Amino acid sequence: MIEMQNLWYAYPSGQTVLAGLNISIKRGEFVALIGQNGAGKTTFLKQLNGLLKPTSGVVKIAGMDTSRVKTAKLAQKVGFLFQNPDHQIFLPSVRQEIAFGPKNLGLPDEEVEARILQAAEAVGLTAVLDENPVFLSKGQRQRVAFASLLSMRPEILVLDEPTTGQDYRESIEIMEMVRELNEAGHTIIFVTHDMELVARYARRIILLRQGRVVVDGPVREVFYRPELLTATGLLPPQIVRLALMFGENSPLGRVLSVEEAYEAIVGWGGVAHDRCG
Amino acid sequence: MTGVAEYVHRESPIHALHPITKLIWSLSVVTMSFMFTDLMGQALLFLSVLLVAGLGRVLRETLPAFKALFLMAGLFTVFRVFFIQEGQTLLTLLPGTGLGRITDVGLRSSIELSCRMVVMAASFPVLLATTAVKDLVVTLVEKLRVPYIYAFMFVTSLRFIPTFLREMDQIAMAQRSRGYTGEGRNPFRKVVALAPLAVPLLISSVRKAQRMAISMETRGFASGTRSQLHRTRFAGRDSSFLLIVGVMFVAVIFIKTKGI
């Protein structure tokens, strides 16, 4: 679905941001892109829909070379959620805001209407469809922005820190929505600083540092190599750190969540109990 | 990214001058360019501005501004030359029709006016490249008794230009991600096509201004009389520089009145 071959990117000022990336992401993957501020995460994301073009190397999205195709065209395949929803909201109602993308795609009115309703329902905005988004809360504005992408039905969703500025419950709600979309077949690539969210939702981690890939692999494997994370100033989730203290051979093993740890402990207790009996 | 007429931080005798000295120099150049009517005088004056830019080691940085000035002056000449119909005909663009007639009087006065325009404006890029706007404003408040709040408004509006440019970039990217192309054939549609960019910029600027006002008030802005941490002082080099400008000024007046 996404192919990066020896991707280099430098700003016009000459500063290199991405240095020789070779990454392949298949349909239906759920990828977390992590790294410190300035590691090149946002620049990486902007390569995915042609907002930035490679200085050298190739980025292919569903077979389309991003340096040859316009962003407006790539937008049909790749939906991009920006950190700040206020950069895009400009219409006087939530309904119109959600309709902007599909209309740009030149879809017929009935189709646009159907997509508005579906997208609004997916993010829980049906009740405020006719309100002015400017007067909604920040969390709701983020959902408006999200719905305006969903209505374009892109196969790939690119989310730049989708949970910043949201409280815990809102964050979980947004990520649950993303999970459902992933289960429905969408490819997800998201940036976050919240390792608990990564452990809970993502299946693959790409860790960037100064424009290079430090490690690229399944979440469980990456989190259980803490030396890679600490080198870039990140810490694995608390439950992973706890499990690491007990070592690989403890009954906790390589758990990723509190639920898994609970299962492991209960299972182990059961075994011990049996042994006693 | 350095824009035209931006401050260039550098060590030079011109940078070391007091902002007021440079302001006086700039205004003197404007006044002198009004007194000269002949091209020779304007050329000498322009050379003197280039000399100051050279001394300030900002010649390379101010060059784009000078280029732009010359371009504008050139266009101005071309437009103006056809509106003066006195004097002898030098050239007619459409022979036989009398349309597009260029006369000797017209050509001469157009070129003179354009040159004056260039010289008048030429000192400002040099002034701005060698003086930080902050220093200029501090001296305006301190020495010329401009109310601080006006000076502050001026500096703030300048300081927000790069912020808005960055914001605009982000907005354009966000809209392109939603399939926005910004295309429109006729002028009306072009204006309509700007809305997805203009409206978010407006809303976010208003939000930003509100936040800034609150953050300033919580830090006690305008709650009493102000004092300055750094005071600027006139030095010997300011007197020497002003003396040279003064001598030039007197010389120009002398030449004009004697009609040499």
Size of interface A-B (CB pairs under 8 A): 69
pLDDT tens digits for range B212-247? 889 988 988 877 777 777 777 788 888 899 999 999
Confidence of residue A72 (pLDDT cuts 50, 70, 90): confident
Confidence of residue A57 (pLDDT cuts 50, 70, 90): very high
Q: Which pLDDT belongs to residue B252? A: 85
- CATH class of residue range A2-233: alpha beta
pLDDT of A277 higher than 50: no
Burial A126-136 (b: 16+ CB within 10 A, else e): eebbebebbeb
Contact A51 B176 (CB under 8 A): yes
Contacts of B216 (CB under 8 A, 6+ apart): none
Q: Are A215 and A229 in contact (CB under 8 A)?
A: no
> Distance between CA atoms of A127 and A129, rounded to whole angstroms?
6
Confidence of residue B2 (pLDDT cuts 50, 70, 90): very low
pLDDT of B210 higher than 60: yes
**Helices of type H across A136-237:** 138-150, 168-183, 195-201, 219-223, 226-231
Burial A143-158 (b: 16+ CB within 10 A, else e): bbbbbbbbbbbbbbbb
Distances (CA, A) of A235 to A160, A204, A227: 20, 17, 9
pLDDT tens digits for range A80-128? 999 889 888 989 999 999 999 999 888 999 999 999 999 998 888 899 9
Confidence of residue A272 (pLDDT cuts 50, 70, 90): low
Contact A78 B173 (CB under 8 A): no
Residues 56-75 of A with CB under 8 A from B: 70-72, 75
Q: Which pLDDT belongs to residue A13? A: 78
Confidence of residue B184 (pLDDT cuts 50, 70, 90): low
Bridge-based pairing state of the strands B99-103 and B89-94: antiparallel
pLDDT tens digits for range A213-240? 999 999 999 999 888 888 888 888 999 9
Contacts of A239 (CB under 8 A, 6+ apart): A199, A255, A256, A257, A258, A260, A261
Question: Which of A49, A90, A105 is closest, CB to CB, to B177?
Answer: A49
Is A171 part of the contact surface with chain B (CB cutoff 8 Å)?
Answer: no
Please list every residue in chain A whose beta carbon sits closer than 8 Å to the beta carbon of residue B203: 86, 89-90, 134
pLDDT tens digits for range A149-203? 999 989 999 999 988 878 888 888 889 989 999 999 999 999 999 999 999 999 9
Provide the 3-class DSSP secondary structure of residue A53: coil
How close A56 gets to chain B, by Cα (Å)?
21
Q: Are A82 and A160 in contact (CB under 8 A)?
A: yes
How close A254 gets to chain B, by Cα (Å)?
39
Q: Are A251 and A264 in contact (CB under 8 A)?
A: yes
Q: Which pLDDT belongs to residue A71? A: 87
Pick the residue with more confidence: A62 or A166? A62
How close B193 gets to chain A, by Cα (Å)?
12
> Distance between CA atoms of B258 and A223, rounded to whole angstroms?
89
Contact B179 A101 (CB under 8 A): yes
Query: What are the tokens at B220?
Result: 């006690």
Give helix A94-104 / helix A109-122 axis angle, nearest 10°. Answer: 130
Query: Whole-number mean pLDDT of chain B?
Result: 83
Q: What are phi and psi of A22, to 5 degrees?
A: -125, 105
Classify the complex by whether its ipTM is higher than 0.90, answering yes or no. Answer: no
What is the 8-class DSSP label of residue A91? Answer: S
How close B37 gets to chain A, by Cα (Å)?
45
Confidence of residue B4 (pLDDT cuts 50, 70, 90): low
A32: closest CA among A163, A166, A123? A163
CA closest to B204 among chain A residues: A86
Q: Which pLDDT belongs to residue A111? A: 92
Q: Where in chain A is the domain with CATH 3.40.50.300?
A: 2-233
Contact B176 A88 (CB under 8 A): no
Bridge-based pairing state of the strands A78-81 and A156-160: parallel
Confidence of residue A270 (pLDDT cuts 50, 70, 90): low
Contact A134 B181 (CB under 8 A): no
Q: Which pLDDT belongs to residue A60? A: 93
Q: Are A46 and A33 in contact (CB under 8 A)?
A: no
Please list every residue in chain B whose beta carbon sits closer than 8 Å to the beta carbon of residue A134: 203
Question: Which of A82, A134, A152 is closest, CB to CB, to B174?
Answer: A82
A90: closest CA among A152, A142, A134? A134
Contact B196 A70 (CB under 8 A): no
Cβ-based burial of B92 (10 A; exposed 0-12, middle 13-18, buried ≥19): middle
Contact A86 B203 (CB under 8 A): yes
How close B102 gets to chain A, by Cα (Å)?
46
pLDDT of B178 higher than 80: yes
